[in-house]
Structure 1
Amino acid sequence: MSTLPPSRQGAPAAGRRATVFAAAAVVAMVDLGVKVWAQAVVPPTGIEAGPVDLRLGYNPGVAFSFAAEAPPGVVLAVTAVVTAGVAALVYRAAPSGSRLQLPAFAAVLGGAVANLTDRAGDGVVTDYLHSGWWPTFNLADAAIVAGVILLVLSNVVRNGPDRADAPAGARGARR
């Protein structure tokens, strides 16, 4: 039974969701702003910047140009469905998310929204970070990867490895 008045019982969940969705919006806005900047500033020859150069690329497909030959409308529709699914999962999981999971949710959702928004304009995603040994990518891609890594780490931290010194009933139990 909750000790909060009925009008305040949903406040913590709503606040956590709002925080995650606001952070995701910031991730998306930063990436979209950098994409506009890169298109305006980066010359066709690129800019050498050390381990990661600035080089414009336009990806009509999804990750690693997968499905690049697919009709742009199909890629956009599939991307929209996946992004909506991510948003629904984040909405559901945010109220009980850990300190590692909340920024992970924001990073994955923000990156997905940024790439979807970019793709909606002309059917391609603007990439601008180039390492030479990895396909050209953008901040939204980096946010998605970082978010997934944080989600994996949060599971490892939460579940921990089975320890020989733990009581038999506690092995593998969630903390």
Structure 2
Amino acid sequence: MSEVDKEVSAGERLPTRMRMLVVIAATVLGLDLVTKVAAVHFIEPGNPIEIVGDFVTLKLIRNPGAAFSMATGMTWLLTLVAIAVVIGVIKIGRTLRSPWWALGLGLVLGGALGNLIDRLFRAPGPLQGHVVDFVSVGWWPVFNVADSGVVCGAILLVALTLFGLNPDGTRGQADESADTDSATGKES
């Protein structure tokens, strides 16, 4: 049995990671909802709370657009994109065997759901709701826990892809050809 076959067999024996993905997503979603409720309750619009001078503040913003206030007139489209992301992550999650992919996809799913809930249920109305953002760090746009989940999860997923780790726990093509070349003594 070749090394690739052994790795695939090992990947097939790994348990699916859907439960891990769901727990991570639920944690991110719960933290996002609780912090948004607290932000709306405790932070007065236009009156930021300083945490570390004026570098880190809590500032309540209602964002109709995406990050960096892009697409402010397309809230309905952002809602549909978020729904597509949720469906895509759940579909991939059913065959997931890598704990690292479960972590990345769980962060993305929890964040997407957090902002989707705002878009569906906050003013001015369904598919038009403005996302509650409240963390301001330096020059970076104001964000929330959901945004952090999406960004951190996406960075992890890109890194996993670059390192050749597949969602099913196996290694990608780039590593297989390098392993084959090293096994046969050929240099790339």
TM-score, scaled to structure 2: 0.70
Structure 1 segments, 4+ long, off by >4 Å, are 159-162
CA shift for structure 1 position 169 = 7.9
Question: 5+ residue gaps in structure 1?
Answer: 1-11, 171-175
Name the aligned partner's letter for residue 47 of structure 2: T
CA shift for structure 1 position 92 = 2.5
Please give the root-mean-square deviation of Cα atoms over the aligned residues, in Å: 2.7
Question: 5+ residue gaps in structure 2?
Answer: 1-14, 124-128, 166-171, 184-188
Which residue pairs with 1:168 in the alignment? 181
CA shift for structure 1 position 47 = 1.1
Which residue pairs with 1:59 in the alignment? 63
CA shift for structure 1 position 161 = 7.0
Q: How does 1:97-108 map to 2 (within 5 A)?
A: 97-108=97-108
Give distance in 1, aligned partners of 2:83 and 2:119.
15
Give distance in 2, aligned partners of 1:53 and 1:41.
13
TM-score, scaled to structure 1: 0.74
Q: How many residues align?
A: 152
Give the conservation status (yes or no) of the 8 Å contact 1:98–1:154: no
Which residue pairs with 1:128 in the alignment? 134
Does the residue aligned with 1:126 lie in a helix, a strand or coil?
A: strand
Identity fraction in percent: 36
1:34-83: CA deviations, max 9, x gaps? 01101111233211112421111111112221121x2xxx513x233222
Which residue pairs with 1:8 in the alignment? none
Give distance in 2, aligned partners of 1:62 and 1:124.
10
